[in-house]
Copies of this chain bind each other. A is one copy, B any other.
């Protein structure tokens, strides 16, 4: 029966007329013209959510960091590199969004100064000074005309504690926690498992292909919004 209800949800294009904005992939923070700081996000989860939202009839905008996968047909894609670029695009696109899903693995910090030329290795040790990047999902959730805002918490320990902390402190409507210390799920894997929290409840989406997890998540978001 659950499967049939899910099929119906997508067949009926339940999200028709809605604008969903989804960030995906890593960001790259330049150190100099050739070096950067990044992370292992593949973009697969964000792109899978975009595909599921398209399947359910939504107009979808993906704001994507550098990935090597193709965007689902029918999505608008805005390509960015850095967290600051993603922040700018997210603030703009969320103006007329119904749902904003922050699935990208955004770098928390960027280099304080980007060297204009390739840095020469001169000493045994060195250090890179970093400054905080803007908090994209927090800033979108703080907007007066905010959409329904869904965050992600990719953690390697104390997953639930950190996720609930982010839900409250960033004033999110929902947060999806996953434990990326488990190799079969998360960043570069084809599968994922999520625990989804809102202020009243939590829902387990068990380990499955990211497409299947995305389908359940999109349906859950639609239910919680209504």
Contacts and interface: CB of A to CB of B under 8 A. Distances in A.
Interface of A: 31, 33-41, 68, 105, 107-109, 112, 117-118, 120-121, 123-132, 154-157, 162, 180-181, 187
B128 A130 contact: yes
Contacts of A36: 37-40
Given A33-B180, A34-B41, A117-B156, 6 more contacts: A31-B37, A33-B181, A118-B156, A124-B131, A125-B130, A128-B128
A154 B34 contact: yes
B112 A125 contact: yes
Nearest to A125: B131
A117 B180 CA distance: 10
Q: How many copies does the complex hold?
A: 2
Nearest to A157: B117
A34 B180 contact: yes
Given A33-B181, A127-B128, A121 B108 contact: yes
Nearest to A130: B126
A27 to B, nearest CB: 11
A155 B117 CA distance: 8
A56 B36 CA distance: 36
A192 B131 CA distance: 35
Given A35-B37, A118-B155, A156-B117, A129 B127 contact: yes
B121 A132 contact: yes
25 contacts: A33-B156, A33-B180, A33-B181, A34-B41, A34-B154, A34-B187, A35-B37, A35-B38, A35-B107, A108-B121, A109-B121, A112-B125, A117-B181, A118-B155, A118-B156, A118-B180, A123-B132, A124-B131, A125-B129, A125-B131, A126-B130, A127-B127, A127-B128, A127-B129, A127-B130
